[in-house]
Chains A and B, each alone.
Chain A
Amino acid sequence: MKNKFSIIVIIFFLIFCFGIFYKGLDNSNIYAPKIKDKKNIPIFKAKDFNSNIYINSEKIFKEDTFYIVNIWASWCVPCRTEHPLLMVLSKNHSAKLIGLNYRDNLNNAKKFIKELGNPYSQILIDSDGILSVEFGAYGVPETFIIDKNKRIIRKFIGPINKEIVEEIKLIIK
């Protein structure tokens, strides 16, 4: 009797493990977190790109609108590819684009903007990458959507493409 019981237990255990591993194969192993709980935007002070003065985060995000925070750098090649799409998004009046210039040389960054255009209503300097960590970013380029309640509701790692632009447009309607 004891033998039969242990056999049944083992069979169930094996089926359980098999199921878990089978399901596990479907999940991607590249860790790209979906945002589970909407987090509030961090509170910080950053230097403005153009004026070189420190501004408070409350002042930056003060309006009652969606915000799109985009992390970029002049040395980042995919940032160039996504730039025209950012220009498209900047024409949309439902959201304001805030740029975070990541670990960059100010002159190079200014040249980048001059050459390709400025989609941002405001650009902040993140010379050591600390600001990006406050947002929970991995690197560059990365884009965050912030709702009217000042919470981060969506995150895109890597350059945005046409599908993502459509998705963003739907979110910020």
Chain B
Amino acid sequence: MLANQIGYYSLISGLLLSFLLCGVSIKDLNSSSKRINQKILSLSFLQLVFVIVSFLSLILSFINSDFSNETVFNNSHTTKPLFYKISGTWGNHEGSLLLWLLVLTLFIFLFLIKSKEQPKKYRILTLLFQQIIIIGFFLFVLMTSNPFNYLFPIPSEGLGLNPILQDPALAIHPPILYLGYVGTSIIFSSSLAAVTQNYVSREWGQHIKKWVLLSWIFLTIGIMLGSIWAYYELGWGGFWFWDPVENVSLMPWLTLTALLHCIIVLERRNALTSWVVILSIATFTLSMCGTFLVRSGILNSVHTFANDPARGIFILIFLFVLIVLSLGIFFLFHRENKNNSNNFFWLSRETAILLNNWFMMYFLSVVLIGTVYPIFLDVISSEKISVGPPFYQKLIVPFLIPFLFFMSLGPRLKWIKSKIENKNSLIVTFIISVILTFFIIKNLTTDLLFYTVLVSAAFFLFFTTLKELFVKKFNNIAQTVAHFGFSLLVLSILFNSILSSEIITNIKVGEKYNYSKGKIFFKKIEERQESNFKSIIAYFEIKNTSGKIVELKPEIRIYNQPVIITSEADIKTTLLEDKFLVMNLVKGNEYFNIRYQIKPFMIWIWISVLLISLGGLMSLFKKRYEK
């Protein structure tokens, strides 16, 4: 009860502080002092504290199952385990907005204390632009998505959380994803501030790069956690479905990666200033756009939040205000760097980075158009179509081939003007890649030519980056690690997709099923009662041709609040392959339907994403004097 009050009034205080902060900041902009008014830092910290207090109040309400709070009532239940009561706080629409506010206020505060050497006006303007976003979100929460609404009379029990969301990976997926996603707000605000101050330069690039890296690392890991959750929880053995919500997290990642590469050019050559600003604006805009698409009910997806058009209208207007504001500022204030001829020599690292951006923007357009086109078509002609995985695969995969090649060659080029060094070793590596690929692939697939070219390109990147790691000196090791990780990712995904096999069959307890590479034996069934569900555990023994036995125990859970039946797959992971078994009830029958999948190199997909993030992390901690 009290937590409700505290939480609500903390939010109001936070909003009022925004206005106060804006006032103090504008005054300080015009003051002649060289240093920023210390009050600004304290007020910003205070605002963060209020948001933390509000967030903690909500968590407390969840822990105490305080059903006088409407959000807790809608999303929790007394029998929920404590860990999931806590993570249930941010697993719903209202709570996740508090998470938005938390990251927004945290990042601006951290920005202020970590940017002491930066120009004063630039810092204040960054704060002001960030406050516009913060005010927008405070208003959004208070006007349409208040997490502290009262319910009277107080219900004795809650409506429960969707059991599919009761998973450790999913519990930490939102906080990490938001640190990335929402973290791009700082890049947005600071680039607008830099534009107004004509500060988009080498120095600014060096300073903002840390923030770009930070968001990028969290976003990469956040997306990976979402995929891991989908793989372990959704029971279909897939990890990426080109579902709108997934696409919506991928889009800012694509622009952020492009931005990361452009910042490097900005740092080195003081060039691409307009493009860097455009990308900064685009990244956060895409995050906001994603929020709109997912929460307004306009899209149909596996993981949409509660649909509410009123909220949708608010975000839509807010989003367009931000776009108009940012583009307006860009056109009004941006000045081209006249002394810099912005033309790059064709064989240079700058051009390689431009190539990266060209392809990234293409991939972005595929994902963006695929995701929003059905909306446009529906509104204009009332026709409803689906845009599913085949669309994305057909348009993206062929372009990966040149992309991988350019990734292998680009980092070897010098700045400004370059020659390709060690042409012979490159050619040898290329030939080895092709031959290796051919021998591996020829018995595995019918699409021989296409896969040979694709896998060769991936191997080429793999070997060139591997060589760089072992043979060369350790400059640019961060980039090499990240690119190596990417080659590993492509290879793992390709081989996983080519080599995976699946058996679907109906089977009774005690029955044996023979397949080409072994036997599946349905040993027995156990029933258990847990705190908020009944569980049916099936014991399977799978014996392959070499006699090795693996035990898998897929589970069916029947939850009590709300009544939902889920299938929990059992997955045995080794470095070489994952064995994946999921079981479903067949209505009105004593037999069960099982799907057994053998998925080679699954774990390498996660390892490679971690490697990519590691590269980012290494870059973040790189010493200034390293080349």
| B331 contacts the other chain (CB 8 A) | yes
Distance of B310 from chain A, by nearest CB (Å):
9
Query: Contacts A7-B331, A10-B327, A14-B323 hold; do A25 and B316 have CB atoms under 8 A apart?
Result: yes
Cβ–Cβ contact B380 & A25, under 8 A:
no
Q: Which residues of B contact A24 (CB under 8 A)?
A: 298, 375-376, 378-379
Q: Of B313, B376, B380, which contacts A22 at CB under 8 A? A: B313
Cβ–Cβ contact A25 & B384, under 8 A:
no
Q: How far is the CA of A33 from the CA of B313 in the complex (A)?
A: 25
Q: Which residues of A contact B384 (CB under 8 A)?
A: 31, 33
Q: Which interface class (under 10, 10 to 19, 20 to 34, 35 or more) fits A? A: 10 to 19
Cβ–Cβ contact B309 & A25, under 8 A:
yes
- CB-CB contacts below 8 Å: A1-46 with B: 3, 7, 10, 14, 18, 20-27, 29-31, 33
| B292 contacts the other chain (CB 8 A) | yes
| B324 contacts the other chain (CB 8 A) | yes
Query: Contacts A7-B331, A27-B379, A105-B588 hold; do A21 and B316 have CB atoms under 8 A apart?
Result: yes
Cβ–Cβ contact B379 & A29, under 8 A:
no
| B493 contacts the other chain (CB 8 A) | no
Cβ–Cβ contact B309 & A21, under 8 A:
no
At the interface, is chain A mostly helix, strand, loop or mixed?
helix
Q: Which residues of A contact B375 (CB under 8 A)?
A: 20-21, 24
Q: Which residues of A contact B376 (CB under 8 A)?
A: 20, 24
Cβ–Cβ contact B316 & A30, under 8 A:
no
Query: Contacts A25-B309, A31-B384 hold; do A18 and B379 have CB atoms under 8 A apart?
Result: no
Cβ–Cβ contact B320 & A25, under 8 A:
no
| B312 contacts the other chain (CB 8 A) | yes
| B300 contacts the other chain (CB 8 A) | yes
Cβ–Cβ contact B320 & A26, under 8 A:
no
Cβ–Cβ contact B313 & A3, under 8 A:
no
Q: Of A7, A18, A27, A30, which contacts B378 at CB under 8 A? A: A27
Q: How far is the CA of A18 from the CA of B375 in the complex (A)?
A: 12
Chain B residue, CB-CB nearest to A7? B331
| B307 contacts the other chain (CB 8 A) | yes
Distance of B624 from chain A, by nearest CB (Å):
38
Q: Which residues of A contact B297 (CB under 8 A)?
A: 25, 29
Distance of A166 from chain B, by nearest CB (Å):
26
Q: How far is the CA of A7 from the CA of B334 in the complex (A)?
A: 14
Query: Contacts A20-B376, A23-B379, A27-B378 hold; do A14 and B324 have CB atoms under 8 A apart?
Result: yes
Which of A7, A23, A24, A33 is packed against the most chain B CB atoms within 10 Å? A24
Q: Which residues of B contact A33 (CB under 8 A)?
A: 384
Q: Which residues of A contact B380 (CB under 8 A)?
A: 20
| B299 contacts the other chain (CB 8 A) | yes
Distance of B467 from chain A, by nearest CB (Å):
45
A-B complex: 3 closest residue pairs judged by Cβ atoms: A25-B309, A25-B312, A23-B379
A sample of 22 inter-chain contacts (CB < 8 A) reads A14-B323, A18-B316, A20-B376, A21-B292, A21-B298, A21-B316, A21-B375, A22-B313, A23-B379, A24-B375, A24-B376, A24-B378, A25-B296, A25-B297, A25-B309, A25-B313, A25-B316, A27-B298, A27-B378, A27-B379, A29-B307, A30-B300
14 more contacts with CB within 8 A, not counting A27-B378, A29-B299, are A3-B331, A18-B316, A18-B320, A20-B375, A21-B298, A24-B298, A24-B375, A25-B296, A25-B297, A25-B298, A26-B309, A27-B298, A29-B297, A29-B307
